Amino acid sequence: MKLFPTFKAPSHTLNVIFLLFLFITGSVGMFGLFKKFDVNLCPEVKGQILLEGKPVSGVKITRSLTYYYENERLDYTTTDDNGQFSFPEVNIRSRKPGSMFDVSRTYQEIFAERCSQKYKLWRSTFHGIEKRPEYEKKLGSLNCDLTSKLVKFEFKNNKNSNIDFFATSLARWSDDFIIFEEYNRTY
């Protein structure tokens, strides 16, 4: 015979108590289990396609954005008579940044197709969820000559000087553009 009977709560009661504890202490908010976050996948893109310095019209341009292994988002446009093209900024709402295991990143790729050949205008893995001026600057002037060599380059991360950004492109910029690899291909 037991002198002190033991109390055993049903397991669902313990789960409810644990969830109430998380809400009261703010831990759920810390990990954002139920919160949606604004995620910037790509700033506005503006560019121009040239061939030996002359504008090329009618070139199909594709932008592919994939946020942290979600479905790929595709946009298409065509260059105008001056070889110019643009894409609007893309933002989404997602719960993923609230996960304690989150590694937010967006795979960005922009390419051109002309005469059955592909040209990589931009390829980068963007880490984070906030719009970055460094990416806005590069993607706001994505001017590519299809005769240029494809290069991998780095550009400054203004928030963390120890970690630069990297991208691959046919475009060239006059500043903040350090090439460290050159390819003999266009895509």
Query: For 1-26, how does the pLDDT look when each residue is reduced to its tens digit (9 = 90+)?
Result: 555 556 555 666 666 666 555 555 44
Q: Quote the pLDDT of residue 11.
A: 61
Please answer whether residues 98 and 32 qualify as being in contact, where contact means their C-beta atoms are separated by less than 8 angstroms: yes
What is the architecture, at CATH level 2, of domain 37-182?
Sandwich (2.60)
DSSP 126-169: EESSS--HHHHHHHTTEEEETTSPPEEEEE--SS-TTS-EEEEE
Average confidence (pLDDT) over 76-101: 91
> Two tokens at 79?
């260059």
pTM, two decimal places? 0.80
d(Cα 129, Cα 69) in Å, to the nearest integer? 14
Confidence check: pLDDT of 61 > 50:
yes
**C-alpha torsion 130→134→64→145, nearest 10:** 170
pLDDT score for 4: 57
Strands 117-127 and 105-114: antiparallel
Domain segments of the chain: what residues? 37-182
- What's the angle, vertex CA 149, arms to CA 144 and CA 155, rounded to 5? 70
The region that residue 167 occupies, defined by phi over 0 for left and psi between -120 and 50 for alpha, beta otherwise, is beta
